[in-house]
Amino acid sequence: MTSDAPRIIIVTGLSGGGKSSALDALEDLGYYCVDNLPSTLLAGMLKQAQANFERYRYVAIGIDARMGSDGLEEVIATIDEFSPVLSTMLVFIEANHEVLMRRFSETRRRHPLIGEAGLARAIEEERTLLAPIKRRADHIIDTSENNIHQLRHQIWRLMGEQAHTEIQTIVIESFAFKRGVPKDIDFLFDARGLPNPHWEKNLRPLDGRDEAVVSWLEDHTDVMAFKEDILSFMRRWIPSLAQGQRSLLTIAIGCTGGQHRSVYLAETIARSLEKDKLKVRTFHRELM
């Protein structure tokens, strides 16, 4: 196997065991994830990965019992065929019967193999159906005593990435309070108490990216202190947030109109964090 061989992770196991959470954890590590791939397409996917290393350097593929015994046998044969030329790992995720019963009851999800015999029978049928691929697995993870966060850490450790866990993307969004606070944000900073360029007639048509507005704001010590306080806060807490399994962090900065102060702060804070080797994107809601 050459050093430029893609790394392929096959994730399978019992429904309700945590396969989707495992794939989410791998996606956070930069894996190209495909779920419920038919067995007949697996060989083609692996050939694509082999031929397009730069695009498919890291690939995670989820498979489940719905493909049937013939499909699972084909998956095992395909993995064995490609193992000499690709870095492959088969991960099997399971939980005990009582835990799976409880999870399906709590979430009211439908088991993929459920029939007239009911949930308990479906779980046992799936366990029997998946026994051959479990025997072939490189790693077996039992999530009976784990929550989602613990499973994610297990996957990260398995991939040898725990020490390198980091926030992969920071989004800094400017907005106007008068139009409502954005949803799905992690931190909110209110800049309405800062000096406002809106009241300067020549600055009113501009926004916080224009040099005249930047110069005006940077002449005010309150603005600079506010910016440095946000930067200090983020630099202090980003490492612990990363250890808390956060791959995406969204910071919202609002002012009255979402045009001057919040835009300036979002842009300048983003540039400062980029100097810390962080991947940062800005989004100005009111300027779209």
User: Cβ contacts of residue 112 below 8 Å, gap of 6+?
Assistant: 15, 64, 65, 66, 122, 126
The residues spanned by each domain of the chain are 7-164, 169-287
pLDDT at 163: 42
Q: Is the pLDDT at 158 greater than 50, yes or no?
A: yes
Kindly indicate the confidence band of residue 54, based on its pLDDT and cuts at 50, 70 and 90: confident
DSSP 109: P
| Confidence (pLDDT) at 95 | 94
Alpha carbons 100 and 94: distance in angstroms, whole number: 9
Average pLDDT for 223-240:
93
CATH architecture of the domain with range 7-164? 3-Layer(aba) Sandwich (3.40)
Which residues are within 8 A (CB) of 162 and not within 5 positions of it... i.e. 6 or more apart?
153, 156
3-class DSSP string for 190-252: ECCCCCCHHHCCCCCCCCCCCHHHHHHHHCCHHHHHHHHHHHHHHHHHHHHHHHCCCCEEEEE
Structural contact between residues 98 and 14, judged by C-beta atoms closer than 8 angstroms: no
- The pLDDT assigned to 245 comes to 52
Q: What is the CA radius of gyration of the chain?
A: 25
Q: Can you tell me the distance from the alpha carbon of 217 to that of 213, in angstroms, rounded to the nearest whole number?
A: 6
Whether residue 272 is predicted with pLDDT greater than 90 in this model: the reply is yes
Q: Give the mean pLDDT of the chain.
A: 89
Specify whether the CB–CB gap between 94 and 13 falls below 8 A.
yes
